[in-house]
Structure formats: structure tokens, C-alpha cells
Structure 1
């Protein structure tokens, strides 16, 4: 008689890791199944916890969505620069493609929320906050390099990076992204010279 090894299972989060594990699971559920399928039950199943624990940590679905967005932005805002605090234009967006390849769920989650905000206006403040955070991080990083960046310029660069990330998430490859990001970095460098 042949025995079959059971499929590997994920273990439940350790004590003190529950909230972070729930946020990662929420991002994963939304990235894979859409925002409308983010339920306490689906989240509990993904995180291997009880749905009572989900309610304990977040109280409402809206609070869960807001916390998951903050979590995903925190994970991805670091991609603004591979050498944060230097203002080096060569480092701006340099690790973006690798970040998306290593962890596409954060960006897919954000796009799901952005698209759902068209149908649910109450989500728009979250989307506005998302883009404000990215613009602010870019402006701060550029200021370290002596580049004065207003809101419009930050918006243009974030929109360009956003479009490249969206294409990478949607198409599953980044054929032109590296060259396009290099172009953006050269443009930033020209502002210093």
C-alpha cells in the first residue's frame, strides 16, 4: 500500500503575529479574488484563524480594508528608492520591478481598491490617501537630492510608475518597464544638472 504525503499546510500565526498575518491574508484574498470577496470567513480561512479573531482585530469590514491598505502601502512605498534618504535619481524607482515580481499582491490589492472606489464612493478617501502617500514619499526623496518637486510633478511621476506597475501586474511581465523607468530616472537627473 502506497502512502501519499499530505499537502503542506500553512501553520496558524504565532501569538502576537495575528494582526499582521490577517492584513497579509486580506491583501492576498483581495489580490486573488477581488474586494467584494473579502469576507471575515474568507479572511479567516486564508489566515487559518477563527473569524471571531478577525472581528476582534478590526471590528468592521471598512476598518479591515483601511488597515489592509495602510499595510500594503507601507510594504510598497519603500520602492520609491533603493537608497532612501539620498535623493539619488539613479535609485528612484530602481527596485520597483523586482518589488512587484517579489510581491505582486500589494499592488494588485491597491488596484482592486482603486477600481472598486468607482462603484463605492466611500472608498475614494482611501484611494486619495494612497496616492497622497506615494506623492509625498517621492517629493521627500527628491528633496534629499536637491530636486524641488511640486504636487503636479510628483503626480506625473507617480502616474507613470503606476501605469508601468499596472501593466506588469496585468500582463505578468515587464518587458519595457526597466527601460521606461531608466528614462524617468534620466529625466530626474536632468533636473539637477
Structure 2
């Protein structure tokens, strides 16, 4: 004989985990994995370390991500490229919502956003170093990096080309975007290693100067 009270016999079974809970758990694991990388580099990116950091059982990584490699990809996409996605979305929003928004202003906003304290920060140095090293040997991560990098470069190149066209200048927008990204990455790395080398303001100035050498002044547009 059932011991379930009659009032509950016809009730629908409530799922043990809601979709929201699953999303929250994924985010917690991504954040824990990022902290593990920040503390110990790629050597600390293990199931045991991440689960200890997140205070969850070992099986949850495979349950939510399928593999440790898939979690690594999510760390790269969700945590480290969040700033890039934000920049791309903002640039697209300005172009869509303000048809008279000058491309010069969008390009200058791109540059300055790269040096905001929440982006130009030391906290993720070990994370980036670990991931850059892993990209060289991990085909899955390399593919994701290539896709995200090209999305970033093409969006930046679009605005560079728009500024050049407006001013009647001939530039290789894709190459200039590539050089800009490389300069920002290099300046950030040097500043992280030794903050006496330059200030973030000086790094920003150097990056603007690179673009202005090909396009003319952006700050007086």
C-alpha cells in the first residue's frame, strides 16, 4: 500500500533540477575553473582541483560539459572573451541605433574600451598565459580561438575601413586591425609583468597613435 498522502498522488513530479539551476551550476564551474587557472596555470586545470574549488562532486563536470576540454573551451569563451563580445555588441548597437554615428567615434570607443580597468587588468595574467600555451597544442581550443579572434578582427577592420573611406585614405584594414590587437596584447603583457614600464594611459596613447598613423587624428574628428 502506498504511503504517499492522497493529496500528493496526482501531483506532477517536480524536476529535481531546474534549467536555471543547471545554468547557475555551469557558471559556477566556469568560474571555479578560471580561478584554478589563475592560481596554478594549466597544471591546476584538473577535475579534482576544479571540483574542490567549486565545492561540487567530480561527476558534475562531465554532466554539464562532457569533458575537461569542453570546460576549457567554455572558460575561454565565457570568461576571457566576454570583453571582446561586449565591444562587438556595443559597436553593432551604435551603428544600428544611430545611423549618423560617425565611424571615427566608434573606432575611438573600441580603443578606449580596451584600456578600461575591468579589461586592462592583471587578474587574468596566469589564465591567459596558460590558455595561450594550451592553444598551441590543443586543436579544439585553437579552433575556438581562431573563430573568436577573426570575429574580433573583422569587426574592428569594418570600422577602420569605414573611417578610411570617409577620409579618402587607402589602408589595409584587416592588417591594421591585426596589428592593433597585437599591440594591445603586447602592451598589456608588458604592463602586467612590470607596471613601471608604462601606465595604462600611455598604453592607450600608443594604441591610438598606431591607428592615427594610418588614418589621421581620431580625437579631433
Aligned to 1:50: 57
Whether 2:154 is the aligned partner of 1:131: answer no
TM-score by length of 2: 0.65
- Equivalent runs, 1:60-79 vs 2, <5 Å: 60-78=67-85
Aligned to 2:48: 41
Note the aligned Cα RMSD (angstroms). Answer: 3.2
User: Is residue 36–residue 50 contact of structure 2 (8 Å, CA) maintained in 1?
Assistant: yes
Q: Which has the larger displacement, 144-153 or 44-53? A: 144-153
Unaligned segments of structure 1, at least 5 residues = 1-13
Unaligned segments of structure 2, at least 5 residues = 1-19, 95-102, 166-170
User: Is residue 104–residue 169 contact of structure 1 (8 Å, CA) maintained in 2?
Assistant: no
Match of 2:207 among 169, 184, 187: 184
User: Is residue 29–residue 42 contact of structure 1 (8 Å, CA) maintained in 2?
Assistant: yes
For 1:79 and 1:173, the matched residues in 2 are separated by 29
Deviations 1:23-72 (A, max 9, x none): 12212211221113211121111122222112211111111111111112
Corresponding residue SS for 1:49: coil
Give the number of aligned pairs. Answer: 178
- Runs (4+) of structure 1 moved beyond 6 Å? none
For 2:196 and 2:143, the matched residues in 1 are separated by 31
Corresponding residue SS for 2:118: helix
For 2:57 and 2:195, the matched residues in 1 are separated by 33
TM-score by length of 1: 0.73
Aligned to 2:182: 159
Greater CA radius of gyration, 1 or 2?
A: 2
For 2:40 and 2:81, the matched residues in 1 are separated by 22
